[in-house]
Amino acid sequence: MRRQLDPGFCSEWSNTLKRAFATHQLMGVTSLSMNRCDAAIHLGTLSAELNDRIIGQLTLDWRVVDVHLQRVLMTALTGAAPRLKPAWLARLLEAQHPDGGWGGFYSIVPLAFGYWYGVT
pLDDT at 82: 97
Fill in the amino acid letter for 9: F
Output the pTM of the full model.
Answer: 0.75
Domain that holds residue 113: 2-119
Alpha helices (runs of H) in 1-120, residue ranges in sequence order: 9-13, 21-34, 43-60, 66-77, 86-95
How far apart (Å, rounded) are the C-alpha atoms in residues 38 and 49? 16
Mean pLDDT in each 10-residue stretch from start to end of the chain (120 residues)? 63 58 86 73 83 92 85 94 95 86 78 83
How far apart (Å, rounded) are the C-alpha atoms in residues 3 and 24? 14
pLDDT at 1: 54
- Look at the chain and report how many structural domains it folds into: 1
Q: What share of the chain is helix, strand, coil (3-state, %, to 5)?
A: 60, 10, 35
How far apart (Å, rounded) are the C-alpha atoms in residues 20 and 51? 12
Write the pLDDT tens digit of every residue in 72-83: 999 999 999 999
